[in-house]
A and B are shown apart, each in its own frame.
Chain A
Amino acid sequence: MTVMSRAWGRLTLPGKVIFTAIPLLLALGVALALVVGILGGPIVELASQYGAVLRFLVAATIILVITIPTAFLIIFMEMKIIAFMNLRVGPDRVGPWGTLLSVVHGLKVLMKEDFTPSRADPLIFTLAPVVVYGSSVMTLVVLPFAPGLFAQDFNIGLLYFFAMGGLAVVGLLMAGWSSFNKYSLLGGLRSAAQMVSYEIPLTLSVAGLLLLAGTMSVNQLVANQSGWFTNWYVFQQPLGFLIFFIAVTAEANRTPFDLTEADSEIVAGFATEYSGMRFGFFFFAEYVNVFIVSAMTVALFFGGWNAPFPFPALAILLDPGSLGIWLLLGIAIVPLVGTLVLSLPFLLTRSAMPAWQAIVLGFVLFNVAVVGLLGVWAFVSFDWVAGLLWFLAKTYVFVFTFVWMRATLPRVRIDQLMGFAWKWLMPAALLNLFVTAGAILVVGR
């Protein structure tokens, strides 16, 4: 409690106002949701009139909001998995198994002093994290999370993805140049040289895949890979996948290629002079980028939201509408009976436990069971739920791989880095492209 009161004392006056305003705003939001629920009719009418605008607003809000838990989850994974790989315990104090530590990190960064060095260019210094973060979330527009669950399906989706991803270079250069610091300048220039060099093999490696698919829409590319897992493009483009994965690691500035930050050589690279939330956005963008590149690898080479094998269509066993009066009875009785049944083991075996605790535990267990059953029901009956789950599962396998590489591989030297991009990856990507084209020519379709 003393920690809380001390933190409260350190807040400025507007901070106190904002922290008291947050619960009020939440209550307002709930009230608004209730009003929307009650006045559903006219609002649905309005929504059908401005359907595209509404869809855009929902998509933009969801995409911007999901980046926050995603980044927190990946930061936590990084801390915990690397700790286990180093035979340490890792974070274990805040929340169960330390799961809330990354949230605390986020709040800490939010409350830190945001300082501009006296000789920096304040405008560009502020705009740089905006460009870096903006470029990474702009790529999320074309990512298909599940059938029907995407912001927008462009016919040039893949080109858009690479174009927006490439904008990050501008942001890093702006950060490096405007900080007025030699480490920052070196870091910015290094990152520009690195990302620009790996952009070529990255974009070329996918050209073979485009030859096979004949479309640039990411949604269509994913749909092409449906059915058994042998339809995934990784089996037709193994070399393309390898080049893509290596180049994407360099683009996201992950470990074997993290020369832009290189904390043992140039302090923190382009982020040396940054502090507070502007610093926070660089790292926010980095972790969102890890998610995005994993998701894109999955979408292009591992079938996206497709299951690895075609599911047998399961029929819904029970139609709730046909139950009539029994449905009402069920709603009235099942929670009561379920709670009592689930609290019975506690009541019978733990004699030291008060009865009310056992009943509360039973109620919690009942809710968990209901949510689990609902999840199974949704997985079976809505294909977007199943698609989303498959997509996230595959994506987090790749996020894990990135973390694993960080725990395993040492950083490369900059001459090795640049030489590898131009002398090995680019010729290999061109070879992959022409072998694919030749194969299509020979097969004739």
Chain B
Amino acid sequence: MTAVWYVVGFAFAAVSFVFVTIGAAWLISHRNRGDVHKGVPYESGIDTYGDTHGRFGLSFYIYALLFVAFDIEVIFIYLWAIVFRDLMATGFVSMVVFVAILLLGLAYAWRKGVLTWR
């Protein structure tokens, strides 16, 4: 239980540290209002064109999807690794089967060419 409070309290401390610093910077820094051009997005000096939050590459999405599958696998592998000395051969075989199923998915993605950036 202490551990949880440590994390919560530390998150609070870190966030308040950042806000206090930004607040202090806001108080001491020099400001002016500027004109309309000051607030325009910086796109190498040209006025912004088209929709900024428009369409972007599908591959970002696929990588995120693969990540979710494999990152959950990692959690299982960690827990398995801790207790491996109690399981030995049984544990080894079951983890080989588990990873093989996931690797099939990876092989499929590889074959379909989504791992190659386009």
Q: Which residues of A contact B (CB under 8 A)?
A: 10-12, 14-15, 18-19, 52, 56, 60-61, 63-64, 109-115, 117-119, 126, 129-130, 133-134, 137-138, 141, 151-152, 154, 158-160, 177, 179-183, 185-186, 189, 192-193, 196-197, 199-200, 203-204, 207-208, 210-211, 214-216, 267, 272-273, 276-278, 280-281, 414-415, 417-419, 422-423, 426, 430, 433-434, 437-438, 440-441, 445
Contact = CB atoms under 8 A, between A and B. Distances in A.
B78 A210 contact: yes
Contacts of A216: 78, 82
A52 B22 contact: no
B67 interface: yes
- What secondary structure prevails in chain B residues at the interface with A? helix
Contact of B43 (A14, A183, A192, A433): A183
A177 B41 contact: no
Contacts, number: 205
Nearest to B96: A434
A112 B41 CA distance: 19
Contacts of A113: 29-32
B81 interface: yes
- What secondary structure prevails in chain A residues at the interface with B? helix
Contacts of B92: 437-438, 441
Contacts of B41: 117, 119, 179-182, 273
Contact of A56 (B6, B38, B59, B85): B6
Contacts of A277: 21-22, 25-26, 29
Given A110-B25, A154-B3, A273-B41, A159 B18 contact: no
Interface string B61-99: 001101100110011011001101100110010011001
B104 interface: no
Interface in B20-36: 21-22, 24-32, 36
